[in-house]
Amino acid sequence: MIRSSVVVSAPAKINLCLGVGGARDDGFHALATVYQAIGLYDQVTVRPADGWSLSVTGHERIQVEQVPADESNIAVRAALLLAAHHGIDPDVAIAIDKGIPVAGGMAGGSADGAATLLACDTLWGLRTPRGELLELAGELGSDVPFALLGGTAIGTGRGEVVTPAMTRGEYWWVVLEADVGLSTPAVYREFDAMHGPRAVPDPVIPDALMEALRRGDVEALGEALCNDLQPAALRLRPELQRALEHGLEETAFGALISGSGPSCLFLCEGRAHAVQVASALSGHQLGPVSFAPGPVPGARVVG
Ligand code: C5P
């Protein structure tokens, strides 16, 4: 069947723990992380066209103007990579509608890359095997395979090697966005500068965190949340420390910076608790506040 359009929705990711090792020879850092996909989404619509094009819109709180609209955009790179992989022309009009903060440490770009891979694969009737799609995703960026997979997963390598993890229950997250994003490479550079020439230990995933997820124990999970990039992100944005403290004072079970930041995450017991913490944090006027459950599925065709 020739389709006139395909719509794919892809979720934001958070890192429940982000263990970071030393820089590798290729410049990337060895990671040991637990990803969770949460219910904030970007939507990508693709249509047949002559050549490729890209348009970007977004929710009113999203700074759409910060998203590149040329071939450096990861969605365009995804379409070109998939077309080249199959030896076909990348004839597609791509429209991204963003609900995930830009440069917020929640892998919004990676969601767009994963969504476009899946959308073009469906539009062009390619039926690329899942393993191949995951490999192409890994070429696009370290977080892109997880955006395809979704749920909760362990990430190793530079983050691109993903394995689904056993979890129980649903977790609710309050997300505090910042008005200005942080560059991921800049945060990694700060991490390197903070460690200096000292060897960085191999990253590990705390047993307590996996155990909390297996039991569905929100309180234990809140205590086990950790992020090795947090000190570097806080050096670049010291004011976020106060935001994290406010969340804990407002009864969140845990607070941490999402990935390379600057979005902050607050773990809550359920939806009602998330609404309460979100409205209390809104009162501090630190930035846009939203809330979302996790885990949710990865990129999927919705239209
Ligand atoms: O893979 P991705 O394109 O998301 O990475 C963006 C940047 O983040 C890289 O260019 C690198 O500076 C940094 N990074 C890293 N180690 C990782 C993942 C990302 O140093 N494991």
> Is the same domain home to 129 and 145?
yes
Phi, psi of 124, deg, nearest 5? -85, 0
What is the model's pTM?
0.96
> Is the same domain home to 121 and 71?
yes
User: Which residues are known catalytic residues?
Assistant: 13, 143
- With a Cβ cut-off of 6 Å, ligand 1 is lined by 28-29, 31, 141-143, 158-159, 184-185, 188
**Ligand 1 centroid – CA 25 distance (Å):** 13
> Is the same domain home to 158 and 178?
no
Of ligand 1's atoms, which has the minimum distance to the CA of residue 141?
A: 1
> Is the same domain home to 114 and 256?
no
Residues facing 48 on adjacent strands = 92
Q: Tens of pLDDT along 125-183?
A: 999 999 999 999 999 999 999 999 999 999 999 999 999 998 999 999 999 999 889 99
**Ligand 1 centroid – CA 182 distance (Å):** 13
End-to-end CA separation in angstroms for the chain: 14
Any domain includes 136: yes
Of ligand 1's atoms, which has the minimum distance to the CA of residue 185?
A: 12
Structural domain of 82: 6-165
> Is the same domain home to 95 and 198?
no
The Cα diameter of the chain in Å comes to 58
CATH number for the domain including 42?
A: 3.30.230.10
**Ligand 1 centroid – CA 22 distance (Å):** 12
> Is the same domain home to 159 and 215?
no
Any domain includes 299: no
| The last residue of a domain, from among 123, 148, 165 | 165
**Ligand 1 centroid – CA 274 distance (Å):** 31
Any domain includes 109: yes
Number of compact structural domains in the chain: 2
Query: Which residue minimizes the CA distance to atom 14 of ligand 1?
Result: 28
CATH number for the domain including 175?
A: 3.30.70.890
Burial classification of residue 288, based on how many CB atoms lie within 10 Å of its CB (0-12 exposed, 13-18 middle, 19 or more buried)? middle
Query: Which residue minimizes the CA distance to atom 20 of ligand 1?
Result: 28
| The last residue of a domain, from among 165, 195, 219 | 165
CA distance 40 to 25: 34
> Is the same domain home to 45 and 102?
yes
Which residue of 158, 160, 189, 228 sits with most ligand 1 atoms within 8 Å of its CB, as the best mutation to test the pocket? Answer: 158
The amino acid at 52: W
Q: What is the full per-residue pLDDT of the chain (303 aa) written as tens digits? A: 678 999 999 999 999 999 999 999 999 999 999 999 999 999 999 999 999 999 999 998 888 999 999 999 999 999 999 999 999 999 999 999 999 999 899 999 999 999 999 999 999 999 999 999 999 999 999 999 999 999 999 999 999 999 999 899 999 999 999 988 999 999 999 999 999 888 899 999 999 999 999 999 999 999 999 999 999 999 999 999 999 999 999 999 999 999 999 999 999 999 999 999 999 999 999 999 999 999 999 999 999
